[in-house]
Each structure stands twice: as structure tokens, then as C-alpha cells.
Structure 1
């Protein structure tokens, strides 16, 4: 038996000339599920949080859900428990070495600390073609009022679409690293003195990056079924640091279900209302998760199961046709979070 619980209701105080408190319901905290399991290496992650409904003054308040029981079950009854990790609140990870199998359907089950049970609809893992090659295109975005242009690198994939099935694609950017260059010779002591104190080391580091893929990159093969095509699959903003030297990023290509594609298409349409790939979606969209004790409860997000293909690209600063002004860091590069002197073990720009 799972315990029933009462939605938390926030109250906002309104006032007039003479302050007089009035309690007004602010909006329920909705469960949000962000999850993707796939046929590639893991661990795979399910993220649980609660956020206020769209239009609420507390919409930006996101609370991670900790202490839940999260399970993925395959169509043949195999049950996989996801576990939390210290320091990563609200995230649940599959065991090391686990991966979804192409051709099988998977269902997500969630038991919250309050005893509420949620389930996704089954999602089938479809086969996915390989990425043949990756290229880039520099993109600039004029700003309202004539401010400095924002810019970045759009990643283009070459794929050969299978002719024997209707494919729905979704792309995300994975792990990234770049060569970070700083100016330790310009270091000065902290305020109030601000005295020049050049450092002997170090000007060049390798920095891990988590690219924020601006926009939703999806496609359906209606126009290129069985053909070779080139298609945008990602975008990395130029922040004045990433493309000073070399930048490396992994591109993840997923073959998703038709229902998952429809959900992501709605997200994409919401994001494009403002006309800019830099702006967040303006509204919440319901996904494929239901509350088993109350099917009318709104649950946000989507549980996706997909086939995965991956390919890596190195971007040289000379490849860009437009670059942002270089960001100057007057310090040892090792003080920058995520930076280290040694390159990643698999750093190989010539591969």
C-alpha cells in the first residue's frame, strides 16, 4: 500500500494601503521526470524534481526528489534498480555496465518518499544508424537593440537513413573538453592592494566542459527515408574561452519512439516561440508518466528509451568564420574549475 499525501499549497500575501493578509493558492509542486536509457554505455540517469506550475511566481523553484525508489523493467521481466550518488541530489543511476537492448520495451517505475507510485508507458528501443561524419558551421545571432552578436558552432552530421523503417531521431551533446589558455603573467594580488604578482605557471590547461545544447535537435525521416542526408545535430555557444584553441565534443544520436518524438517536437515548438535558440521553453508540457493512484495528476517530463550511436569531433579555432573576443583570465589556468595540466587520456586531435 502506498500512502496518500496532500499536495503542498503555497500562499502569497497581498496588501493594500493598510496591510491586510489574504491567503491565495500559489500552485502545486509537480513531479518532473527527465530520463533517457539507451543501448550505449552508461551509467544512464533518471532525474526527479518538483517544480511549480507554469505561471506561478515560484515557477523557477526546483526541488530535487531524494530517497525515491526508481526501477526500470524490461518487457521480459528483468528489473533494474537505479541508485543515488552522494553529492548528486535527485539523480538516479543504472548499475555500471548496464545498457538497454535493441528491440526490447522498458517501463519506468517510481516510488516517492511520500509513498506515491508513478509509472511510464512502455518505450521500445529502436535500432539506430551510425553517424558517418561530423562537420561544423559558424552561427551568429544578432541581439535586440544592436548589442554584440552572440555566436557559436553548429554541428552537422552526415547519416545514411535505413530504408526499411520509419526513423525518429534525437541528438544530444555528450562529454566535451577544450584547451584553456589563460594569462598568469597578468595576475595581481587581491583587493585592496591589487599589486602585480606574475605567476610562473601555468598558461595552458585542458578543461572538461558540459555543453548546454541550445535548442532541441530532432528529425523524422519522411523526407530522406533510405537516403544520405546532412542535418544539424547540436550547437555550442562561443563564450570567449571554448574556441581559443581546440574543442572536442561527443555527439550522441538516438533512435526514439514516435511518441517521444512528438513530445520533443512540442518542447521544440515552445522553445522557438521567442525566436531564439538561447531562450528556455516558456511552458510545461506533459509527458508519458502517470500517477497510478490518481491518473489525473499532471506529471511533467518524459522517459525515453532509445538506440544510441556516438561520434566525436575536434573543432580548431581556425575552423570558425566568426569568433567572440577572447576572455582574459589573469591567473594560473589550474585555478579554473574543471581544468588540469594533463590532457584527457584519449585526447587525440588527429584521430
Structure 2
């Protein structure tokens, strides 16, 4: 399944908050020392102990304060363990500036990894080595479906809507060592086309999206010692046609090191500031990336070495005590384009995920 991996949501959060934010509150301006006319390289990437989520995104900020970032194509990116080349991140043909790791093995607990980037102009960027942590906790998921009050228009009008609420309970498995956690959320659901009059029914589509959103979910297991991190509401999703068939929440828990936690804490702090946020200027937040040949130059972003654990939970309309209409009924009234070809839905595929 062409699931949007953890990176996609993280990348959005990173690019939104990897910015110098001019925050105007009661005429006070908080200056984070960014030059909106300068261009900087933005890097976000990771390596995990598995095969999924091992991607890197490269972009260049715009020379204009209101301009879009420009993907950086044609870079060479190597995953290193000390002086040993383990694999390379290969650019995805369908997504310029996004690179996926080509490595036959997996990163291992207790080993230190870093990346070496050579940009098309010949400049080099390195990350500081980070050690793959051990697994620190296990998540348990639950879903509650209820009427939830939503704001439904710009005037602030509210009404009750049936929604699924995802709760996460976390049991700490290693109390002896300090640990740091970060979570991301994916959804997976099925779309079925309206049947045709004759022949074999069309195959279903499987859709996967990153629904992490803007919120950065992190936990400091050094300062907040606990056997259990009790139920937290991670996501509220309106119950619609996605739930007609089997719908999955997937929670990706990443154990990260202290430096990564401190980086995301700074990002969270800036993203929570009130006022007007101008998200096209680079924030002066120090990550773990640098130019070895020009230490005074700045590069922004982070390369993360993370131990990852995925937990899933599913629900469907059979579990509800109310009727949920299928989005593509047998009769084609109110026929939507996706009912004729579900592959036009973003991130859809006919390839069945292994967990279905």
C-alpha cells in the first residue's frame, strides 16, 4: 500500500515550524534572527530499526518571505556507520526532493549512525552521529464512537457529529533508563466502487494517509518517571464513508535520543506561540546538521535515529449502533467520480496491505 509514512506528517510539521516566526502579540515582536531574503537548506530525515519510514526530504527556502520552498533534486545521500557506507537514499522519481533508503539490512540498537549529503553544487552536509535507542514502551489503543461537538463554519457555529476518538495508553517497559518518545498517526481504509452491470466486480482500493496533523506528541521519560502513561486522546475523526468498511488507526511510536527530544521541544514551543505565524522564513533552531567545510553556515532540520514500534486498531460500521450509508451505493444516484474509479483518491492502491 502506498501509505504515507511517518515522514510525511513529520515533514509538514517540520517545514511549518522550521521557520523564523514573526509573532505579533499585543504589538510585541519576537525576533528569532532569521533573514527572510536568505536561502537555507532544509533537511528532515530518519533511519529506523525497520524498513518503513527511512526517508529524507531536502528543500531550499525561498528568497521571498512569502515564497514556497524548492525541492532539491540530484543530491547524493549516504547512510554511514562510522566510516562504513551502509546504503544510499535514492530520490523518488514521482517526488522530487524526497529520497528513500536503499539498504538490505536494518539499523540496529546500540549502533551509531549518521548521514553524509552532497548537494548538486558540491557542498557537503553531515549529521552528528546518533545511537539507535532500545525500545522503551508499548502502546495500547482504544476507540470510542460518540457524538462530539464540532465547529462547522467560520462564524463559530457548532453542532454534534458522530466521531471516532482514538485513545492511547502507554506502558513503560524499561524504567531503569531515561527515554524520550514521539508519536505519529496514520489511517488506513477501504474504498469500493459502484458495481457495474456485468462482469467481475471491480477490486477495492486501499487508502493510507498520515493524519498526525500539526500537534507534536512527545514525552520526556527522564523527567516524568511513570510505569504507565495513561489514556490520552490522540485523534478525533468524523465518522463518514471511510468507516463503511474496515478502518484502521496506526500509531507509530518512536523512541528517540535526548538531542532529538530537545529539538522537537523547541519546535513545539515555537508552534504553540500565539499570534500571526509567517511560515516561509527559516527558524534559527539548531538541529544536528552542519557543513563540515563551512561551520559558520547554517543548515536547518534534523536527521533522526529512531527505534519504532507500530500499534494498530480497527473498527467498521458493523460495530456501530447507528446506520452508516456506504459512500458508493449500488444505484448510481449522486454518483461521485471516485465511485467509478477509486484509484483517483489520493494515496490509493489496489495492493492489499498485509494487515487487512
Question: What corresponds to 1:254 in structure 2?
Answer: 254
Segment drifting more, 154-163 vs 254-263: 154-163
Structure 1 contact 157–233 (Cα < 8 Å) conserved = no
Number of residue pairs matched by the alignment: 302
Q: How does 1:275-314 map to 2 (within 5 A)?
A: 284-285=282-283, 286=285, 287-314=287-314
Q: Are the structure 2 counterparts of residues 227 and 172 from structure 1 closer, same or farther at C-alpha, using a change threshold of 3 Å?
A: same
Structure 1 contact 205–339 (Cα < 8 Å) conserved = no
Q: How does 1:96-135 map to 2 (within 5 A)?
A: 96-135=103-142
Q: Are the structure 2 counterparts of residues 131 and 320 from structure 1 closer, same or farther at C-alpha, using a change threshold of 3 Å?
A: farther
Segment drifting more, 323-332 vs 27-36: 323-332
**Aligned-partner Cα distance in 2 for 1:84–1:343:** 23
Which residue, out of 52, 55, 64, partners 2:62? Answer: 52
Structure 1 contact 252–308 (Cα < 8 Å) conserved = yes
- For residue 39 of structure 1, report the CA deviation from its aligned partner: 0.9
- For residue 223 of structure 1, report the CA deviation from its aligned partner: 6.3
Q: How does 1:328-347 map to 2 (within 5 A)?
A: 330-331=336-337, 332=339, 334-335=341-342, 336-337=344-345, 338-339=347-348, 344=352, 346-347=354-355
Structure 1 contact 32–301 (Cα < 8 Å) conserved = yes
- For residue 292 of structure 1, report the CA deviation from its aligned partner: 2.3
**Aligned-partner Cα distance in 2 for 1:322–1:291:** 58
Higher RCO structure, 1 or 2 (CA under 8 Å, sep 6+)? 2
**Aligned-partner Cα distance in 2 for 1:324–1:33:** 43
* TM norm structure 1: 0.71
Which residue, out of 135, 142, 157, partners 2:151? Answer: 142
Structure 1 contact 161–228 (Cα < 8 Å) conserved = no
Q: Are the structure 2 counterparts of residues 43 and 211 from structure 1 closer, same or farther at C-alpha, using a change threshold of 3 Å?
A: closer
Structure 2 contact 79–86 (Cα < 8 Å) conserved = yes
Q: How does 1:197-208 map to 2 (within 5 A)?
A: 200=197, 205-208=204-207
* Residues 162-194 of structure 1: per-residue CA shift (max 9 Å, x gap): 1111110011235x4213366x49xxxxxxxxx
Q: Are the structure 2 counterparts of residues 110 and 339 from structure 1 closer, same or farther at C-alpha, using a change threshold of 3 Å?
A: closer
Question: What corresponds to 2:166 in structure 1?
Answer: 154
**Aligned-partner Cα distance in 1 for 2:353–2:254:** 26
Q: Does 1:31 align with 2:41?
A: yes
Structure 1 contact 43–98 (Cα < 8 Å) conserved = no
Question: What corresponds to 2:228 in structure 1?
Answer: 228
**Aligned-partner Cα distance in 1 for 2:122–2:156:** 53
SS in 2 for 1:306: strand
**Aligned-partner Cα distance in 2 for 1:282–1:231:** 36
**Aligned-partner Cα distance in 2 for 1:298–1:49:** 14
**Aligned-partner Cα distance in 1 for 2:81–2:182:** 22
Structure 1 contact 271–280 (Cα < 8 Å) conserved = no
- For residue 108 of structure 1, report the CA deviation from its aligned partner: 1.6
Q: Are the structure 2 counterparts of residues 118 and 42 from structure 1 closer, same or farther at C-alpha, using a change threshold of 3 Å?
A: same
Question: What corresponds to 2:269 in structure 1?
Answer: 269
Question: What corresponds to 1:66 in structure 2?
Answer: 73
Structure 1 contact 46–91 (Cα < 8 Å) conserved = yes
Structure 2 contact 39–61 (Cα < 8 Å) conserved = yes
Larger Rg: 1
In structure 2, runs of 5+ residues without a counterpart are 1-34, 328-333
SS in 1 for 2:260: helix
* TM norm structure 2: 0.71
CA-atom RMSD in angstroms = 3.8
**Aligned-partner Cα distance in 2 for 1:178–1:329:** 20
**Aligned-partner Cα distance in 2 for 1:267–1:317:** 38
**Aligned-partner Cα distance in 1 for 2:80–2:118:** 14
